[in-house]
C-alpha cells in the first residue's frame, strides 16, 4: 500500500518512529495513512511500510503543527458528535443509520457491542451542507429507510474502507484480494474456483501499518463487518472481483506447489515425472520376476561388455551360478555405483528370506530346542521334552510310570499308591 515506488529502506524510518515524530497516537497514525494524509512506502523485499524522512519534514513544516494535523484525524462517538451538531444523540443515531453520516472506524465496548466513530471534520461539513436534516421533521425517504429496519453504517464503512485500500494498492493481485474479502467463502468459491488463487489472496492482502493487533473478538468482528450482506452489494462485489481478477491473471499467474522444483528441472534439462527422481526405465528399479540375475550381472560385471570368456559372453549369468544360487553370485562390496547398491540390498533381502525358510521346518520338528520366552531365570535353559521330569524322584515313581504306560492302573490306584508311600 504505497503511493510511490518502493525503496530499499534508505532515508526512511519505521512507522512507530514516524508516529512519535508527528505527535500522533497509534490509531491516529493508522487513520492518517488510511486517509492518505501520511504517505508510506513498502520495502522491495517485503515487510511493514516505512515513512520517508522527507514526508515527516513536510508535515512538520505545515502551519499549526501538530494541532492542525491531529484535528484532521480526530474521531468522535455518538455523544460527542451530537454535541458538535447541536442535536440529541437519538437524532444523530437516526442520521447515521439512514446513511447521512459515514463512520470511519469502530471499536468494541465491554459488552462486545460495536461503537462507531466519525470524523469531526465531516460532521461539520454535514451541518453546512444539509442543515434541514438537523431540525424539523425528517424527510420521507429517511423515515421509510428507518422504518424498514435498515442500518447503513456497516455498508458505508465497508465501502469507504475498500475504496481507500484500492487506491493505496498498486499490485493487481492485492487489489483483487481487497475485493475478495467482501465475499463469504461460498460466494468466493463460486467466483474463483481455483483454490490456489484463493490461498494467494491471503498472502498479498494489504496489512495494517503496525501489523495485526487487537483481541480475537475484534478481528472476528472486523471480518464479519467486511462481508457484503445485501443482494445488490453482493452482486456488485462479485462483478468487481471478476474484473480485478482478469487483470491480475493477465499480469501473472498465482503460484502453485512445485513451481520452484519444476523450474529447476527445466533448467537442468530434465522434465518432471510423476514416478520420482529415478528413471523408471532402469532394469534394477523395475520389478523383473522372470530373470532378475541378468540385469544385476550386466550392471555389476567388472569386465568389458561384449568380450568372450571361457564361461561364455560377459554380461550373462553362468549356468553354475544359476544352479548353485538362483539369486546369482554375491556382488563385491567395493562397488560404488548406486545401482550396484540396490542390487546388493535386493540380494541380501532374498538370501535372508531363504534362510528363514530353511530354518522353519527344523524349528517345527524339534520343539525342545526352542528357547523359552520371558520368565525369571529362564534365559539359557532348555525345556525338557514332554513326559520327562527333571530333579529328584521319590521311590516308586518309576514303577508308577510303568504302570500308567501299560494301562494297568487308573488314576484312583495311583492315588492309593501315593497315600501308601506317604504312610511308609
The C-alpha atoms of residue 12 and residue 56 are separated, in whole angstroms, by 10
Judged by phi (left if over 0) then psi (alpha if -120 to 50, else beta), residue 272 lies in: beta
Is it the case that residue 378 has pLDDT exceeding 60?
no
pLDDT classification of 411: cutoffs 50, 70, 90 = very low
**Tens of pLDDT along 149-204?**
999 999 999 999 999 999 888 899 999 999 999 999 999 999 999 999 999 998 88
Q: Is the peptide bond before 66 cis (omega within 30 degrees of 0)?
A: yes
74-151 maps to which CATH number?
1.10.10
Q: What share of the chain is helix, strand, coil (3-state, %, to 5)?
A: 50, 5, 40
pLDDT classification of 215: cutoffs 50, 70, 90 = low
pLDDT for res 209: 74
Section 341-361 average pLDDT: 71
The C-alpha atoms of residue 39 and residue 54 are separated, in whole angstroms, by 10
Is it the case that residue 66 has pLDDT exceeding 70?
yes
pLDDT for res 207: 79
pLDDT for res 213: 63
For the chain, domain boundaries: 12-71, 74-151, 153-257
Which burial class, exposed, middle or buried, applies to 119 when counting CB atoms under 10 A from its CB (0-12, 13-18, 19+)?
buried
* Helical segments of 205-273, H only: 216-225, 231-251, 259-267
**Tens of pLDDT along 263-289?**
555 544 555 444 444 344 444 344 444
Section 99-103 average pLDDT: 94
CA dihedral (74, 80, 81, 84) in degrees, to 10, reads -90
pLDDT classification of 343: cutoffs 50, 70, 90 = confident
pLDDT for res 41: 83
244-251 own/partner pairs: CB under 8 Å, 24+ apart = 244/172, 244/175, 244/176, 244/179, 245/176, 245/191, 245/192, 245/197, 247/172, 247/175, 247/176, 248/172, 248/173, 248/175, 248/176, 250/172, 251/172, 251/173
The C-alpha atoms of residue 228 and residue 7 are separated, in whole angstroms, by 36
* Helical segments of 325-367, H only: 338-365
The C-alpha atoms of residue 53 and residue 18 are separated, in whole angstroms, by 8
% of the chain exceeding 70 in pLDDT:
59
* H/E element, 33: helix 26-35
Chain-centroid distance, C-alpha 78: 43
Section 139-147 average pLDDT: 92
Q: And the C-alpha cell for 126?
A: 454535514
Q: What is the DSSP letter of 369?
A: G
**Tens of pLDDT along 247-260?**
999 999 999 887 66
Amino acid at each position: 500500500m504505497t503511493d510511490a515506488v518502493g525503496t530499499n529502506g534508505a532515508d526512511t524510518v519505521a512507522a512507530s518512529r514516524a508516529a512519535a515524530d508527528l505527535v500522533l497516537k497509534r490509531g491516529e497514525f493508522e487513520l492518517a495513512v488510511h486517509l492518505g494524509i501520511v504517505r508510506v512506502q513498502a520495502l522491495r523485499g517485503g515487510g511493514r511500510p516505512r515513512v520517508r524522512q522527507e514526508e515527516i519534514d513536510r508535515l512538520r513544516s505545515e502551519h499549526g503543527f501538530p494541532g492542525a494535523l491531529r484535528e484532521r484525524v480526530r474521531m468522535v462517538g455518538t455523544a460527542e458528535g451530537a454535541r458538535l451538531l447541536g442535536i440529541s444523540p437519538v437524532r444523530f443515531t437516526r442520521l447515521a443509520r439512514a446513511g447521512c453520516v459515514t463512520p470511519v472506524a469502530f471499536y468494541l465496548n465491554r459488552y462486545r457491542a460495536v461503537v462507531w466513530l466519525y470524523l469531526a471534520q465531516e460532521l461539520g461539513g454535514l451541518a453546512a451542507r444539509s442543515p434541514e436534516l438537523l431540525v424539523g421533521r425528517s424527510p420521507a425517504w429517511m423515515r421509510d429507510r428507518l422504518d424498514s429496519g435498515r442500518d447503513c453504517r456497516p455498508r458505508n464503512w465497508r465501502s469507504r474502507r475498500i475504496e481507500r485500500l484500492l487506491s493505496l494498492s498498486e499490485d493487481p493481485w492485492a487489489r483483487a484480494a481487497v475485493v475478495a474479502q467482501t465475499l463469504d467463502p461460498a460466494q468466493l468459491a463460486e467466483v474463483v474456483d481455483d483454490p490456489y488463487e484463493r490461498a494467494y489472496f491471503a498472502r498479498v492482502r494489504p496489512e495494517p501499518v503496525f501489523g495485526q493487533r487487537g483481541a480475537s473478538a475484534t478481528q472476528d468482528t472486523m471480518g464479519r463487518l467486511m462481508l457484503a450482506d445485501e443482494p445488490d452489494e453482493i452482486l456488485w462485489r462479485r462483478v468487481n472481483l471478476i474484473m480485478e481478477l482478469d487483470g491480475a491473471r493477465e499480469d501473472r499467474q498465482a503460484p502453485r506447489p512445485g513451481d520452484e522444483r519444476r523450474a529447476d528441472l527445466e533448467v537442468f534439462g530434465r522434465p518432471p515425472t510423476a514416478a520420482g527422481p529415478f528413471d523408471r526405465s532402469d532394469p534394477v528399479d523395475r520389478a523383473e520376476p522372470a530373470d532378475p540375475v541378468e540385469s544385476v550381472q550386466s550392471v555389476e560385471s567388472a569386465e568389458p561388455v561384449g568380450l568372450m570368456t571361457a564361461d561364455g559372453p560377459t554380461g550373462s549369468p553362468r549356468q553354475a551360478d544359476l544352479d548353485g544360487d538362483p539369486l546369482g553370485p554375491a556382488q563385491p562390496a567395493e562397488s560404488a555405483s548406486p545401482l550396484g547398491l540396490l542390487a546388493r540390498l535386493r540380494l541380501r533381502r532374498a538370501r535372508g528370506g531363504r534362510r528363514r525358510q530353511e530354518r522353519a521346518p527344523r524349528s517345527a520338528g524339534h520343539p525342545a530346542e526352542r528357547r523359552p520366552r520371558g520368565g525369571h531365570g529362564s534365559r539359557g535353559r532348555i525345556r525338557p521334552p514332554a513326559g520327562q521330569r527333571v530333579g529328584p524322584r521319590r521311590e516308586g515313581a518309576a514303577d508308577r510310570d510303568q504302570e500308567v504306560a501299560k494301562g494297568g492302573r487308573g488314576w484312583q490306584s495311583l492315588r492309593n499308591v501315593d497315600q501308601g508311600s506317604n504312610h511308609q
